[in-house]
Structure 1
Amino acid sequence: MSATTASTITAESLWDDVAAVRANAPLVHSITNFVAMNYNANVLLALGASPVMAHAHEEVAEMAGIAQALVLNIGTLEPDWIVSMQLALKKANARGIPVVLDPVGAGATAYRNRALAELMAAGRLTAIRGNASEIMSVSGLSASTRGVDSSASSDAALAAARNLAAATGAVVCVSGADDHVVDHQGRWLSLSNGHPWMTKVTGVGCSASAMIGAFAAVQPDPWRATAAAMAYLGVVGESAAEQVIGAGGGVGTLQIQLLDGLQLLDRASFIARLKFTVHG
């Protein structure tokens, strides 16, 4: 299938990708961090995908051999996990399945930066999703970071995202108040849904990367797949936050409401709420 032209993206077409995930239940192999592992798995299940969270290097290549997508998240790094990620990446590349990288905390430590460089040299990536500081760091620009939190806006990282897409051939997504999705062909889409409270629930950003893996498993154009995943999470998060705040709840309730929304949001609500702009 040929790549989607930017002008043909519609809310309806992005919903078609949501429906495809629900219909096909793709198996998403995630080598992810301890902090987000449980929530990532629940997000994928609520979305309609099937998660597997194997990380032992004795089995990761075999697991990547049966999955429909691979997601690599460096949040809680250790040497054995770096080996596992490289083994799984090589197997995924050999099979031609999509690989999503979440460079959590890029730029925070020299060890993390070395691990990222080794991982990116080990194989091809389909998509890279991170906050502004992470994307700027991976692209080679200087960016300060506070652990895994961004110190820059997503708009400030747009040029870095484009450079990174050109250098790697991967789709690059910068998450923030507005999410930007760019690729090496010059396509650029921004999404303006979501809610600030989403940043107060551990694992939501990591779950966005896991969702991109699920969408890329059913949508062969990775730029559109990334846009659809981020669009769906943004709409669900915005709706969930409004419901929780309206009922006098807090971020603990939001965590559960996000899962409910991922499972239950309907086509009409998604299309009515979605706010996006195609720039090229």
Structure 2
Amino acid sequence: MDLKETAAELLGKIRTNAPLVHNITNFVVMNSSANILLALGASPVMAHSRREVKEMAAMAGALVLNIGTLEEKWIEAMLLAAEAANERGIPVILDPVGAGATAYRSKVAETILRKTSVSVIRGNASEVLSLAVDDVRTKGVDSSLSFSDEIVTAAGALARKYGCIVSISGEKDLVADGDRVLRVANGVPLMTRVTGLGCGLSAVTGAFCSVAGEDLFNAVAAAYGFYGLCGELAHEVSDRPGSFYVAFVDAIHAAGAADIHTRLKIESG
């Protein structure tokens, strides 16, 4: 089965099964990520209390951890939820927002990676580089780094170190597992002008992984490609960030297998 068929099949499973995606995410994007998941056909839950996260994570199809707005109680909740997910073989997606910008953020991301089994690290180039290479400082939360050989090598090394998939957003997105590399060419620059769309991609990655069985590598690439092509569809409707966001959520809801077969751009290497 080629990647277009895989992506279309996974999208169909999401819309048929409405998998529960448990998000412990940041204040900025809770509403946006929930709406994106609902538009996709998944079932979002944003539960972060330490008293219930283990129970909630155990019921979910995927767990998404996002460190955008850090607070000590939430960090503990993330570790508890990941423990429950690991016990049941539920995919865990980590979005290390701003890793490398401060020592604290880097330490939290590294603690989650060290103490739990993360299935997918999903970030930008600077965040991933900061986790893979010592003494790297990122430029704020977003990254302007291109996919140099250093970053591709770092992604592979990080994937091997933690036994996970590493995915990086950029002009062309990168998905690596230490042995294989896929590049995804879907998307439009305007997606970077709307706060929270990167975090929304982490949530959508969780949804795709929740229905993928053991083939998480191709599921991550499919999530990136679908998300990017929805950005392309939205850009045909609006070229301004406010109305673009509305068009993007509509595209997430409306896009289907035909759009995947026509627009998906994923290649090896």
TM-score, L = length of structure 2: 0.96
- Verify the 8 A CA contact 1:105 1:147 in the aligned structure 2: yes
Confirm whether residue 193 of structure 1 aligns to residue 186 of structure 2.
yes
The answer as to whether partners of 1:154 and 1:174 remain within 8 angstroms in 2 is no
Pick aligned residue for 1:265 from 252, 255, 266: 255
Asked if the contact 1:235/1:273 (under 8 Å) is kept, the reply is: yes
When the two structures are aligned, how many residues end up with a matched partner?
267
Residue of structure 2 equivalent to 1:252: 242
- Once residues 257 and 144 of structure 2 are traced to their aligned partners in structure 1, the CA distance between those partners, rounded to angstroms, is 35
Q: Which AA in structure 1 matches 2:139?
A: R
SS at match of 2:121: strand
Could you tell me how far apart the structure 1 residues matched to 2:210 and 2:23 are?
A: 13
State the match for 1:66 in structure 2.
59
Query: Is this contact kept in 2: 1:56–1:81, CA < 8 A?
Result: yes
Kindly indicate whether the alpha-carbon contact (under 8 Å) linking 1:141 and 1:160 is maintained by their aligned counterparts in 2: no
Contact 1:158-1:174 at 8 Å conserved across structures: no
> Which residue of structure 1 lines up, in the alignment, with residue 42 of structure 2?
49
Counterpart secondary structure, 2:236: helix
| Structure 2 equivalent of residue 18 of structure 1 | 11
Q: Which residue of 2 aligns with 1:229?
A: 223
**Relative to structure 2, which stretch is displaced further, 111-120 or 192-201?**
111-120
Q: In 2, distance between residues paired with 1:65 and 1:175?
A: 29
Q: Deviations over 1:32-58 (max 9, x none)?
A: 000111100001000000000001111
Q: Is the 8 A contact 1:28 1:213 kept in 2?
A: yes
Percent identity, aligned pairs only, is 48
Deviation readout 1:229-265 (Å, 9 max, x if unpaired): 11100100012112213xxxx1000111110000001
Structure 1 equivalent of residue 119 of structure 2: 126
8 Å CA contact 2:8–2:256 kept in 1: the answer is no
Query: How far 1:141 moved relative to its partner?
Result: 4.6
Unaligned stretches of 5+ in structure 2? none
Contact 2:18–2:42 (CA<8 Å) still a contact in 1?
yes
SS in 1 for 2:59: coil
Other structure's SS at 2:238 match: helix
| Pair 1:83-2:73 in alignment | no
The two structures have a TM-score, normalised by structure 1, of 0.92
- Residues 240 and 261, structure 1, Cα contact 8 Å, conserved in 2: yes
Which consecutive residues of structure 1, in runs of 5 or more, have no partner in the other structure? 1-7
- Within 5 A, what are the aligned runs for 1:178-217? 178-184=172-178, 186-217=179-210
Rounded to whole Å, the distance in 1 between the matches of 2:107 and 2:265 is 37
- Name the aligned partner's letter for residue 70 of structure 2: L
* Contact residue 221 and residue 266 of structure 2 kept, 8 A: no
Tell me the CA shift for residue 142 of structure 1: 4.5
Which amino acid in the other structure matches residue 16 of structure 2?
A
Q: Distance in 2 between matches of 1:127 and 1:273?
A: 25
